[in-house]
Amino acid sequence: MRSETVIRQVVRMTARQTLETELRLRLEQIEARDLYRRRRIQDAPQQPRAIVAGRPMLNFCGNDYLGLANHPEIIAALCEGADRWGVGSGSAHLVNGHSRAHHALEESLAEFTGRPRALLFSTGYMANLGLITALAGRGDCVFEDRLNHASLLDGALLSRATLRRYPHSDVGALERLIADGAARLIVTDAVFSMDGDLAPLPALAVAAHKGGAWLVVDDAHGFGVLGRGGRGALDHFGLNADEAPVLMGTLGKAFGVFGAFVAGSETLIETLIQFARSYIYTTATPPALAVAALKSLEIVERDTWRRERLMELIARFRQGASQLGLALADSRTPIQPLLAGSAARALAWSEALEASAILVGAIRPPTVPEGTARLRISLSAAHAPQDVDRLLDALAELPMHA
């Protein structure tokens, strides 16, 4: 072999080893900063009574707000859907993966949200990437709340539009930012996923109107939980499709199934079908999931008691926590964060709860800003009042100054 070739090979081998070393170093660094994430292995369906690596635990970290993830009627619908449609959709929606089951779900979601059309996406992450990149591009300006979900920020970055982030829920600051440029989209979580507070949607709708922008609302945590019949945060505030033209909702949280959708005008939905790359270039979800989600939609609307039970549990938790002197966040939703500050403390708290067989997630940067690590407690209509009391008892024992 010629020596030049040998040298080139050695250089390449060294580069590959350097990459391995660099990756290992990066992992060691986050470990040292208490930011390393580990998966727990669940041995039971999503429900308050979890089994983690064989051990029974009381679960306060899911997003199954209405207790539908393991509902017998929805399981039966999924099985019937599989009997009727098989398992795989076989291709993307625009090839031949768009079944009548998908279509029926879209029509029902459109009707439920009071909009002309709805479009299914495989996941909420993909819905947000697809819709922002389809609606904004180079030269446009997209405004986002600082605490927006990662998928909304990623969507704006991918779109090549200018991304401007405004301080959390600060409409005044947003309006000042808009004043010196053209706004295309104003994008917000409806219920902030790690804080549980509601975005000031009516004021944002006014700001969008004045700024000549469209308001994009991600209602991942409000859909099913808030509004009449679980119609979500926009319904809660009485905002219509003119005030908030783009509504994104997910089916994997309160709906207990999987997937997501965007609802809006005929023009919006046709634009997404033509231009949203995360819609076009991916396999459609199994049609049986659409059958299951359709059943879930029926139950969400029908079982008013689930939302009532959930609100009672939230009130019970907040009252108990304030009696304990815990610093509660301004949240009326099932997401009830308990601020720890440092990642190490959040982790210590979560581990202490785990020792009492209670499962609560420690949320650390980069999911939340530096210095605001927290326990993210989430409640479900499937919890019993006694479950909340057990959680409160365990919280009372936390080493607050750990």
Ligand X SMILES: *Cc1c(COP(=O)(O)O)cnc(C)c1O
Q: Contact region for ligand X (CB under 6 A) — 17-25, 31-39, 121-129, 264-272?
A: 121-129
Residue from 93, 98, 115, 221 binding ligand X (CB under 6 A): 221
Nearer to ligand X, 59 or 250 (CB): 250
Residue from 59, 113, 151, 380 binding ligand X (CB under 6 A): 151
User: Which of 225, 234, 296, 329 is CA-nearest to residue 73?
Assistant: 296
Nearer to ligand X, 149 or 231 (CB): 149
Nearer to ligand X, 125 or 166 (CB): 125
**Angle at the Cα of 325 (from 319 to 326), degrees rounded to 5?**
80
Residue from 81, 97, 124, 224 binding ligand X (CB under 6 A): 124
Nearer to ligand X, 151 or 331 (CB): 151
Spatial contact of 249 and 219, defined as CB atoms under 8 Å apart: yes
> What residues have CB less than 8 Å from 200, skipping those under 6 apart?
169, 171
Query: Which residues are designated catalytic?
Result: 193, 221, 253
Binding of ligand X by 149 (CB under 6 A): yes
Spatial contact of 112 and 156, defined as CB atoms under 8 Å apart: no
Closest CB to ligand X belongs to which residue? 124
Nearer to ligand X, 342 or 367 (CB): 367
Which ranges of 60-217 would DSSP assign to H, the alpha helix? 72-85, 100-113, 124-135, 150-159, 171-179, 201-211
Q: Which of residues 155-194 bind ligand X (CB under 6 A)?
A: 189, 193
Q: Contact region for ligand X (CB under 6 A) — 3-11, 213-221, 274-282, 319-327?
A: 213-221
CB-neighbour burial class of residue 367 (10 A; exposed 0-12, middle 13-18, buried 19+): middle
Instruction: Characterize the bridge pairing of strands 49-52 and 335-341.
Output: unpaired
Instruction: Characterize the bridge pairing of strands 185-189 and 141-145.
Output: parallel
Q: Measured from the CB of residue 282, what is the shortest distance to ligand X in angstroms? A: 13
Residue from 113, 123, 188, 336 binding ligand X (CB under 6 A): 123
Binding of ligand X by 250 (CB under 6 A): yes
Which ranges of 180-303 would DSSP assign to H, the alpha helix? 201-211, 233-237, 266-275, 277-280, 287-302
Binding of ligand X by 218 (CB under 6 A): yes
Binding of ligand X by 313 (CB under 6 A): no
Spatial contact of 321 and 395, defined as CB atoms under 8 Å apart: yes
Torsion of CA 309, 310, 316, 322, to 10 degrees: -170
Number of residues in contact with ligand X under rule CB under 6 A = 14
Summarize as ranges the residues that interact with ligand X (CB under 6 A).
123-125, 128, 149, 151, 189, 193, 218, 220-221, 250, 252, 260
